[in-house]
Structure 1
């Protein structure tokens, strides 16, 4: 009976974590490039130990037009590389880019976007006669006829197991990353990728989890009552 209470208690904890995951998915419905988390799954490893793993769905979100020349969206596989002031490298599908005061291409959080030649500096090229920035589908950046660099797009081996560093950003896994093949992605200038969260499916999952949570609570209550009665009988 005590084992039953323990099992039901673990079930409650499991459901609470899943509800938190779904709540976070719903909270990021309008976050550019956000990738929904799939509710927790318990896994038994080769030593018989149980641990909880979070999985991220890397399914592509809808590509929406913004007409901003520095908004970029990836179609297909791959991530943009960004680097913060602490030199930490992150992966992201959030292509809301801009130029900082020094002329470097940065994301909304002022982290530098990396190209195949490193940090991308554009400001000097914008002083010419044709300041329009053109980004090709392969990621090549041109100002007028001058090629500046190419946006670096990378892939990882297990992208559904990446750890988040922010709402739409991830840290490279232990295997690092490699440059994506040209035929596995394309870049759309003037577009952004929306979150891949489906609010209807998330709400259905939330309702189901709440029902399961209530059921587990009732089981614990019933087992607790039975255990109390058994203890009273033992005292007679």
Structure 2
């Protein structure tokens, strides 16, 4: 395969990845706490020894550095449910899955489980030590979460919601808006700020993503046409070379 075809193939693979990411963003337009994902591409220049020869000039290649979340806050959507909470600013709730693994999420739709743990769709809500928060059976109707993360059952404090932070480069999505963060650390209690009585909506803009999807699809189609043109040119050259030998 010639250099031109290699470069175009790499470009098409990157554009396919971008289309997939944009489509996933659009699919999660109404997902609580979802963070828009963005592709991270870079251009690498491979220097050649003899730049005067057209076949040895520098080659531009696309490098795929993965996907990173856009951590801007989504809109706060008032629900009136005192157990619905949203993080103000950076950070993630800790959730403990059925297998005991600690994950992280921005989705703060909290409910009380049958065994009296606070839980989200991704698992049991955790405190700053990664332990699930449980409330007294007799006080389930009087549970409240305060803006500083304190969990009250009537007049008794029964826990404090943990909020965690970490590098976006160590995030590994697990599904249901839950992810693991390789270098996650719990914020000190005085740094925790919650909005109570509502949920954080997705920070995806339908207009922005739809426009980006159209642009990526057009770029992919253009790259494919160039690839087809190179293929046609190579076939004609081979045909002419074959005729010249007879």
After TM superposition, the score normalised by the length of structure 1 is: 0.88
Q: CA RMSD in A?
A: 2.2
1:184-220 Cα offsets, whole Å, 9 max, x none, are 4411221100011111110110111111011101101
Equivalent position of 1:203 in the other structure? 210
Distance 1:160 1:58 in 2: 12
Distance 2:22 2:63 in 1: 22
Equivalent position of 1:146 in the other structure? 156
Q: Where do residues 115-130 of structure 1 align in structure 2 (5 Å cutoff)?
A: 115-116=127-128, 118-126=131-139
1:188 to 173, 187, 195: 195
Equivalent position of 2:54 in the other structure? none
Higher RCO (CA-CA < 8 Å; seq separation 6+) = 1
Structure 1 residues 169, 148: CA separation in 2 closer, same or farther (over 3 Å shift)? same
Equivalent position of 1:8 in the other structure? 8
Equivalent position of 2:125 in the other structure? 113
Distance 1:161 1:61 in 2: 21
Q: Where do residues 97-108 of structure 1 align in structure 2 (5 Å cutoff)?
A: 97-108=110-121
Shift of 1:22: 0.2
Distance 2:40 2:18 in 1: 6
Shift of 1:124: 2.7
SS at match of 2:68: strand
Equivalent position of 1:220 in the other structure? 227
Distance 2:224 2:128 in 1: 55
Larger CA Rg, structure 1 vs 2: 2
Structure 1 residues 161, 201: CA separation in 2 closer, same or farther (over 3 Å shift)? farther
Is 1:170 the counterpart of 2:179? The answer is yes
Shift of 1:14: 1.1
Q: Where do residues 2-41 of structure 1 align in structure 2 (5 Å cutoff)?
A: 2-41=2-41
Shift of 1:234: 1.5
Shift of 1:52: 3.4
Structure 1: stretches of 5+ with no match in the other structure: none
Q: Where do residues 130-141 of structure 1 align in structure 2 (5 Å cutoff)?
A: 131-141=141-151
Distance 2:4 2:165 in 1: 45
SS at match of 1:121: coil
Equivalent position of 2:85 in the other structure? 72
Structure 1 residues 71, 160: CA separation in 2 closer, same or farther (over 3 Å shift)? farther
